Amino acid sequence: MKTSHLIPYLMTIAVITGCIKEDGEPFTIERQIHNNNIESSQKGYMYGTAQKDSIVENTFQTVIKANDLEDLDVYISLSSVYDTIDVSRNAIKQCGYVLSETNNTPTVGGEGCTIFDQKLINWKGDTTSTSLTFSGEHHGLAFNHNYFVRSYVVTTQGDTCYNPQVSQIKTVIPSNVWFRRNDANIEARTEAISATTDNGLVYVYGGRGNMACYSDMWVYDSKNDTWQQKATFNPDEANSHVLPVERCNGAAFMSYFALNNDTLMYILGGENFNGDPTKHNFIYSLKQNRYSNGADHPQKRLYVEPFDQPRTGLVAFTINSPGGEPFHCVGMGYLQIEGTSVRSVEPKIFNYEVGFDRLNMVLKEGTEDEYVDDGKHVHTWHTLGSLSKDGKTAIDQTAIGFYQAVAVQINKTTAIVGSGEGSDDKYSNAFYQLSISNTLDLDMKKLPSPPAEFTPRKNAAAFYLNYTKDASEHDKFFVGTGCDASGELLNDFWAYDFSKGTWERIADCGNVYREGAVGFKVLRVDDYFVKEFAEPQERGIVAFGKGIVPTINNPSTNTNDASVKKDVWEYLP
């Protein structure tokens, strides 16, 4: 990545309070000529004082380039006050600032010095007004650099007079910032189905477009920052058990099989473009780039056993037992009674046993006690448990389910599930930490509730980061965007700190209010901020969704006014 394009496509302004406003004591104004010795009145010398220049902002923002791309612009803002000026002998025609990286007493025309925000003014003052206040900004600075800067004025007699106290400024290092990366070379979509491999590759399947649902498979490689289309699957290519192929609003998990050195992606539930849920699921072989034909699966499976009823808006994640056994968990979402329009939010979470190889046995024809298998696998969905309002697992607790919740892997043994449209007909702000206990029950801990400012929502995006910054370890769960109960889209984002047990609102996710985005984490190795500032390598990504950019002429953030997106945003903590 070129330094002149630090990170392309930044959309949001990140205000970093990286400086402290400094209001110094008044000082006698320093003059350029004759080592500050007072000159004759014909030379236009000044009597007066200057307060130390105040640093109003030391931060960065976006700039739009000629090609409509965006970049980061580091800038400083200052404010200056020259007062107790003897107006009988002084008038001022110019004011401005001078800055240098190398000269600790910068002057106009000095070596390595740059002037900025020089303004022509007509200040004469009077017996009641003996003070001049002005301000300035300088753009195009570098991150994490030292600068010397001070203000100056020029009298009508041509005498340049400086603030005697030079301010030393170190520009900020970026943090708590969303960068807009290159848009994915993929059709815009919302409610796509995604899962991440052990080596950090993110696979994205399907999703809802403006006119149809998709059945294409894409992979994102964070090391190269590239999107690659793997395949587009047609319905007639799929096993009859897995129709419909085009789908959105489903879930997926990955499972690695050492036997054939392949990772299989299990794609589960969801709905078609008309919103009809499906109970059919299928398996995709990453190694062979195809629907599983049985040869890809250690147990020769062609497909995943269907759900008992169609499901959509569900979640999937994998957590290990204390003995290391993986439990692939799938559940919640809307359950629709097949053949009816009756829907309800499901509180149950199921385990799918990918290694289970027992076949259905039937009585052999012509015999009375001889059984043979009929080639069909026994149904392998087993209920692990249900979420409950207070986070307890006792059987008498009130169970609650969520539609379009978030589910994020924290580590091999823990996941976070929460938010969404609840089975109590309310949108939720509750989050649960789930693991498998020694008794192989679903062990659940409800996280502290977010602040009152956190809007209950569904269809949000989330990810988990564990990183080092400023010599401190940070262990945080991030969640944001989504849709509230009134149909308004959101772009706020929040972080839960596991070490502190507290919530904090972070920078908003760009200027797009959205729902239905995918969220995941990536590992950067050699980008600008890692190389230059040793910034965290773990980053969060929010991509796609259905969103809108509010404007003065159209301030709406309602989902009815939104369109599908293909933009990709990265969070630097």
Q: What secondary structure, in 3-state letters, does 248-309 show?
A: ECCEEEEEEECCCCEEEEEEECCECCCCCEECCEEEEECCCCEECCCCCCCCCCCCECCCCC
- H helix runs in 467-536, sequence order: 528-533
- 59: tokens are 């931060």
Output the CA angle 23-25-26, nearest 5 degrees: 115
Q: Is the pLDDT of residue 549 over 70?
A: yes
Q: For residue 65, what pLDDT is reported?
A: 58
Q: CA-to-CA distance for 248 and 432, rounded, in angstroms?
A: 25
SS3 5: helix
In this prediction, residues 465-479 reach a mean pLDDT of 93
Q: Is the pLDDT of residue 35 over 70?
A: no
- The residue that leads in pLDDT, 234 or 21, is 234
Return the H-helix or E-strand segment holding 334: strand 334-336
What amino acid is encoded at 411 in this protein?
N
Residue given tokens 């919302």 in the structure block:
190
Q: Across 59-68, 248-257, 420-429, 533-542, which has the greatest mean pLDDT? A: 248-257
Q: For residue 435, what pLDDT is reported?
A: 92
Q: Is the peptide bond before 310 cis (omega within 30 degrees of 0)?
A: no
In this prediction, residues 255-274 reach a mean pLDDT of 91
63-98: pLDDT as tens digits: 655 544 556 788 999 999 988 777 776 688 999 999
Q: For residue 480, what pLDDT is reported?
A: 98
- What is the dihedral sign for C-alpha 336, 342, 343, 347? negative
Q: Is residue 391 within 8 Å of 441, Cβ to Cβ?
A: no
Residues in the chain: 573
Phi (first) and psi of residue 239, to 5 degrees: -60, 145
pLDDT band at 470 (very low <50, low <70, confident <90, very high): confident
Q: Is the pLDDT of residue 166 over 80?
A: yes
> What's the chain's average pLDDT?
83
Q: For residue 16, what pLDDT is reported?
A: 31
Q: For residue 155, what pLDDT is reported?
A: 84
Range with lowest mean pLDDT among 24-38, 42-56, 351-365:
24-38
Q: Is the peptide bond before 448 cis (omega within 30 degrees of 0)?
A: no
Q: Reduced to 3 DSSP states, what percent helix, strand and coil does the chain have, rounded to the nearest 5? A: 5, 50, 45
Quick one: 189 exposed, middle or buried, by C-beta within 10 A (0-12, 13-18, 19+)? buried
In this prediction, residues 480-496 reach a mean pLDDT of 97
Q: For residue 43, what pLDDT is reported?
A: 52
For the chain, the C-alpha Rg in angstroms (whole number) is: 31
Q: CA-to-CA distance for 397 and 377, rounded, in angstroms?
A: 34
**pTM of the entire structure?**
0.78
pLDDT band at 476 (very low <50, low <70, confident <90, very high): very high
Q: Is residue 319 within 8 Å of 412, Cβ to Cβ?
A: yes
pLDDT band at 183 (very low <50, low <70, confident <90, very high): confident
End-to-end Cα distance, the chain: 20
pLDDT band at 62 (very low <50, low <70, confident <90, very high): low
Could you tell me which residues come within 8 angstroms of residue 119 by beta carbon, excluding any fewer than 6 positions away?
A: 94, 95, 96, 134
- How many CB atoms sit inside 10 A of residue 36's CB? 15
- 262: tokens are 């392949």
Range with lowest mean pLDDT among 41-45, 366-370, 491-495, 496-500:
41-45
Q: Is the pLDDT of residue 218 over 80?
A: yes
Q: Is residue 156 within 8 Å of 92, Cβ to Cβ?
A: yes
Q: Is the pLDDT of residue 2 over 70?
A: no
Q: Is residue 74 within 8 Å of 532, Cβ to Cβ?
A: no
> DSSP code of 157?
T
Q: Is residue 546 within 8 Å of 559, Cβ to Cβ?
A: yes
Q: CA-to-CA distance for 404 and 425, rounded, in angstroms?
A: 13
- 56: tokens are 């109003």
Q: Across 35-44, 152-161, 271-280, 525-534, which has the greatest mean pLDDT? A: 271-280
Give me the domains of the chain, ranges plus CATH numbers. Answer: 17-170 (2.60.40), 187-458+487-507 (2.120.10.80)
